[in-house]
Amino acid sequence: MSNELVPFQDQERMANAIAKSGLFGMKDPVAVLALMAVAQAEGRHPASVAKDYHLIQGRPALKADAMLARFQKAGGTVQWTKYTDDVVTGMFSHPQGGSLEVSWTLAQAKAIGLATKDNWRLYPRAMLRARVISEGIRSVYPGVIVGEYTPEEVGDFREVQATPIIDVPPPPQMELAAEVEEDGIPIYVPDGDGQRVYAYAADSDDWMKHYQNMILQIESAKKLSEAERAEKSSAFRIVNKEILETLGQF
């Protein structure tokens, strides 16, 4: 924590110096200055943004290590139970958020079209680790990273957002299902303390398209605050986690 306020003029000079250096992908001094203002408001030194963030196409991305450091500083812990190029699993715990085991597999990433880039092909373990860190912290104790995404996620957003959004109309009065039914693979949405079926997908590819589309719609909903978007996105992922893991195995 930084208790000393840095004058705005000094922040401007720092922002210009960082932008001119071209380090960390930060080339826009205005964007750097905006990040510095947020950092100082949160009690951190403005210059810390240079080591904690990348700017990717004008969007700030909090590095996975910085995200994990914030979580641990806030009292969270993580235990890595699997750490290979095929699967990374971590048990995330926080006194206020409980515990949750989060896994990402290379098969999962391939199934939803993420593993085609060079960074996934060359550094699969690091990419899986970043995804696990982001999902684990966002699910267990989202307060430390509200509205933040890792560079790995932001890099994948550009590819996902380039695909057309598929409208998924809600089906009429469908009963709650706990497993795959004869009329397709269920996509769940949170409902109070439980879940309900939102729609049925014809096959695994169809399910993945609907799943991606729902996440994109939630995370781009302008009527929701960043905290609300993070909360709803996390809840949607959790209720569909078992189905996603099952599809990932195939």
The verdict on residue 174 lying in a domain is: no
| pTM > 0.75 | no
Show pLDDT as tens, one digit a residue, over the chain (250 residues).
455 678 878 888 888 888 787 766 677 788 777 777 777 776 778 777 676 766 665 566 778 888 899 899 999 999 999 999 999 999 999 999 899 999 999 998 888 777 777 888 889 999 999 899 988 998 898 887 765 666 556 655 544 444 443 444 444 333 333 333 445 788 888 887 778 888 877 777 778 888 888 888 887 777 878 778 888 888 888 888 888 877 764 4
My answer on whether 86 and 42 are in the same domain is no
My answer on whether 15 and 83 are in the same domain is no
Range of the domain at 116: 65-161
> In angstroms, rounded to a whole number, what is the distance separating the alpha carbons of residues 247 and 226?
29
My answer on whether 138 and 70 are in the same domain is yes
My answer on whether 52 and 100 are in the same domain is no
The verdict on residue 179 lying in a domain is: no
The verdict on residue 2 lying in a domain is: no
The verdict on residue 29 lying in a domain is: yes
My answer on whether 80 and 154 are in the same domain is yes
My answer on whether 147 and 101 are in the same domain is yes
Contacts of 216 (CB under 8 A, 6+ apart): 160, 161, 165
My answer on whether 52 and 114 are in the same domain is no
My answer on whether 39 and 69 are in the same domain is no
Q: What secondary structure does DSSP assign to the chain, as a single string? A: ---SPPPHHHHHHHHHHHHHHTGGG---HHHHHHHHHHHHHTTS-GGGHHHHEEEETTEEEE-HHHHHHHHHHTT-EEEEEEESSSEEEEEEEETTTEEEEEEEEHHHHHHTT-TTSHHHHH-HHHHHHHHHHHHHHHHH-GGGSTT---HHHHHHHHHHHTSPPPP-PPPSSPPP-SS-BTTBEEEEEEETTEEEEEEEESSHHHHHHHHHHHHHHHHT-TTS-HHHHHHHHHHHHHHTHHHHHHHHT-
Per the structure, how many domains does the chain have?
3
My answer on whether 233 and 214 are in the same domain is yes
My answer on whether 151 and 194 are in the same domain is no
The verdict on residue 170 lying in a domain is: no
The verdict on residue 28 lying in a domain is: yes
> In angstroms, rounded to a whole number, what is the distance separating the alpha carbons of residues 211 and 205?
10
The verdict on residue 18 lying in a domain is: yes
**In terms of Cα–Cα distance, which of 69, 140, 102, 148 is closest to 244?**
102
My answer on whether 45 and 73 are in the same domain is no
